[in-house]
């Protein structure tokens, strides 16, 4: 299995989110390719193809096109509400990484063991590393465990943890990032999954090992907006400064 360090040799990698906005499958494909070219050109290290607005078939269409373009960026997927389809696609295409919004904490204890066992089987079937969320935005908390316990269990189920606050585009609480880091003792990479901006990038990347960024790069800093190339350029300039400080 590949490691995240192998996939992303650059320190503090930034993964640009392709939300797959658009009115039709053709529109979603065209927009995703345009956004991918801009993000790759401005220095994003990875792209996450996610069916936030589209569906899982859109993920495959966009993934297939991006793989064929050979852009200077690594391409991964997050198939919302369909982990099985995500692993199917990871076996079918040269996916660089997968993201799953919740790998621990969202299920009652009596359902969690079966979930964990199945996830381990699926994870073993692909070479791509897995980024897993714990106490992730929009996900229920049903485990009955403490946050720290869920974080430690989640860390064992993936290759990197992803931490957010409560909503898309909402700044991730710095104290929560610090708690996740403390719970794992730095044993796995930690990515900020929402709300990073050029203003908070330095503080957050001083603790975290990377970030997934979508809404901030769009018009109005909204998930519904069109990608704004100037925002991408400004954000990546701030990231480069943050990387230099953390080095």
Residues 63-103 pLDDT 10s: 999 999 999 999 999 999 999 999 999 999 999 999 999 99
| Tokens, residue 40 | 């790759």
Statement: residue 3 has pLDDT above 90: no
What does the pLDDT read at residue 239?
Answer: 98
Please tell me the distance from the alpha carbon of residue 2 to that of residue 196, in angstroms, as a whole number.
Answer: 26
Q: Which residue has the tokens 């495959």?
A: 60
Q: Tell me if 87 sits within 8 A of 126, measured CB to CB.
A: yes
116 vs 51, 63, 230, CA distance in Å? 23, 27, 42
Statement: residue 1 has pLDDT above 90: no
| Tokens, residue 188 | 């796995």
Statement: residue 105 has pLDDT above 90: yes
Report pLDDT digits (tens) over 185-240: 999 999 999 999 999 999 999 999 999 999 999 999 999 999 999 999 999 999 99
What does the pLDDT read at residue 73?
Answer: 97
Please tell me the distance from the alpha carbon of residue 134 to that of residue 163, in angstroms, as a whole number.
Answer: 7
Cβ atoms within 10 Å of 125's Cβ, excluding its own = 11
Please tell me the distance from the alpha carbon of residue 206 to that of residue 46, in angstroms, as a whole number.
Answer: 20
Please tell me the distance from the alpha carbon of residue 166 to that of residue 173, in angstroms, as a whole number.
Answer: 9
Q: Tell me if 63 sits within 8 A of 77, measured CB to CB.
A: yes
Statement: residue 245 has pLDDT above 90: no
- Average pLDDT over all residues of the chain: 96
Domains of the chain plus CATH, in order, are 11-246 (3.20.20.70)
What does the pLDDT read at residue 125?
Answer: 97
User: Pick from 28, 3, 33: which is nearest to 16 by CA?
Assistant: 33
Parallel/antiparallel/unpaired status of strands 160-163 and 190-192: parallel
Percentage of residues in the chain with pLDDT exceeding 90?
Answer: 94
Beta strands in the chain (DSSP E): 14-18, 46-50, 74-78, 97-104, 130-134, 160-163, 190-192, 210-213
User: Pick from 128, 189, 145: which is nearest to 163 by CA?
Assistant: 189
Percentage of residues in the chain with pLDDT exceeding 70?
Answer: 100
């Amino acid at each position: 299995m590949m490691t995240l360090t192998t996939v992303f040799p650059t320190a503090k990698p930034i993964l640009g989110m392709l939300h797959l906005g658009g009115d039709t499958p053709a529109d979603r494909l065209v927009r995703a390719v345009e956004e991918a070219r801009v993000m790759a050109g401005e220095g994003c290290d990875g792209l996450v193809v996610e069916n936030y607005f589209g569906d899982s078939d859109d993920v495959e269409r966009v993934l297939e096109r991006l793989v064929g373009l050979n852009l200077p960026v690594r391409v991964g997927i997050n198939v919302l509400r369909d982990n099985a389809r995500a692993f199917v696609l990871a076996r079918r295409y040269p996916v660089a990484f997968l993201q799953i919004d919740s790998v621990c904490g969202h299920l009652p204890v009596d359902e969690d063991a079966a979930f964990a066992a199945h996830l381990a089987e699926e994870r073993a079937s692909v070479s791509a590393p897995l980024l897993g969320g714990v106490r992730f935005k929009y996900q229920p908390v049903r485990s009955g465990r403490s946050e720290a316990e869920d974080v430690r269990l989640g860390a064992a189920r993936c290759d990197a943890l992803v931490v957010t606050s409560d909503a898309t585009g909402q700044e991730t609480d710095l104290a929560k990032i610090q708690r996740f880091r403390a719970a794992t003792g730095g044993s796995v990479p930690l990515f900020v999954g929402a709300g990073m901006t050029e203003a908070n990038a330095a503080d957050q990347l001083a603790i975290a090992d990377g970030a997934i960024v979508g809404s901030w790069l769009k018009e109005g800093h909204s998930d519904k907006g069109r990608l704004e190339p100037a925002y991408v350029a400004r954000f990546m300039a701030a990231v480069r400064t943050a990387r230099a400080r953390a080095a």
